[in-house]
Structure 1
C-alpha cells in the first residue's frame, strides 16, 4: 500500500452512493487518496448508478459490490458512512480511524415511484452531482 491516506466509503448495499463516491474520489483525487467502498449488506451495483456515472465520464466499469470482509487488511485513515443504516451498523475500526458521516439521499428509494425511466434517473443524477461536489471539496 502507498503513503496516500486510505478512505473507505460505507453504505448499506455498496450499490449506488458508495460506488459513486469511490469512483469520483479515484477520478478527482487518485493521487491523494487510496479509496475503497463496501456495504454492510452488499447487493449488486445499481445499473442506474452505473448509467449516470457513465454519463458523467466516470464509469463504474469493473466495480462490484462487496462487504467489508472482502477488503484488503489495511488500516483506514477515514471511514465515511453515506447513509444512516451504515452509520448505525458500522463495524468497529481502530481508534486511529476517523469516522465521518456524510448522508446522501437514496436514489433507488426516490426513483421507485417514477413514471418513466427518465424520471427515475433524475434523483440519481442529483445525488451523483452532490457526491461529486463533496469529493471535489474533500481535504482530509
Structure 2
C-alpha cells in the first residue's frame, strides 16, 4: 500500500461518526451483513445524478474499505441518472490521498484504472448511467448518494434494495478558492463513513 494512503486510512478510521449518521448508515450495514452471512456476493451500486463526484467517491472508498477489512465477495459500482464524466478534481484529490489512478482512455468521458495496492485488482472508473451493462443487472443494492437522484429516480426495478445515504455536492465550491478544501473534506467524510460501515461487518 502507498504510505500516503496508509496515513489517510489511519486518519479515517479514527474519525467519529455521530449517532444520527450511524442510524442512516445502518440499512447499508444490514444489507452487507446479510449477504456475508449468506456467503453470497455483495454488490453495491452508488447512484447520483451525473456519476461525476459523490457516487464515484462512495464507490472507490467503499471498495477500499471492503478490501481493508477483508469483506469477501464485495464489488462496488457507481452510476448516474445520466452519464457525464468523472470530475477531474475528484481524481486529483484521491491521488493526493494516496490512491493510484491512471487514465487508460482519454476521451470526453475518460476511463481510469484505480488501484489501492499493487496486489489488488484495479477498479475501472468512468461516468455511466446506473443501468449500464458494466454495472450489476440484478442482486444489488442501489445506494442513492444525492437527494436529486433519490427524488428523480424513484424506482430501480432491478435493485434488490434501495438505500438513501446522501452527501452534499462538492460542486458548490467549483470555481472558488475553497474548491480543494471542500472536495478534500467531502472525500474524507465519505471515506470515514464507508470505513465505518465495513468496520461493523462480522465475518
**Residue 53, structure 1, aligned to residue 112, structure 2:** no
| Distance of aligned partners of 1:86 and 1:42 in 2 relative to their CA distance in 1, 3 Å threshold | same
**Residue equivalent to 1:70:** 132
| Distance of aligned partners of 1:59 and 1:65 in 2 relative to their CA distance in 1, 3 Å threshold | farther
Counterpart among 168, 174, 193 of residue 112 in structure 1: 174
- For the Cα contact (< 8 Å) 1:107–1:123, is it kept in 2? yes
Listed as ranges, the gaps of 5+ residues in structure 1 are none
Which TM-score applies when normalising by structure 1? 0.84
Between Structure 1 and Structure 2, whose CA radius of gyration is higher?
Answer: 2
| Distance of aligned partners of 1:66 and 1:16 in 2 relative to their CA distance in 1, 3 Å threshold | same
**Residue 103, structure 1, aligned to residue 166, structure 2:** yes
Task: Provide the aligned C-alpha RMSD in A.
Answer: 2.1
**Residue equivalent to 2:53:** 16
| Distance of aligned partners of 1:26 and 1:73 in 2 relative to their CA distance in 1, 3 Å threshold | closer
**1:77 Cα deviation (Å)?**
3.0
**Residue equivalent to 2:187:** 128
1:92-116 per-position Cα deviation (integer Å, ceiling 9, x unaligned)? 224x71211111111112x13513x
Counterpart among 39, 61, 73 of residue 80 in structure 2: 39
**1:89 Cα deviation (Å)?**
2.1
**Residue equivalent to 2:29:** none
Size of the aligned set, in residue pairs, is: 134
Task: Find runs of 4+ consecutive structure 1 residues off by over 3 angstroms.
Answer: none
CA distance, structure 1, for counterparts of residue 76 and residue 126 of structure 2: 14
Listed as ranges, the gaps of 5+ residues in structure 2 are 1-38, 103-111, 113-124
| Distance of aligned partners of 1:59 and 1:85 in 2 relative to their CA distance in 1, 3 Å threshold | farther
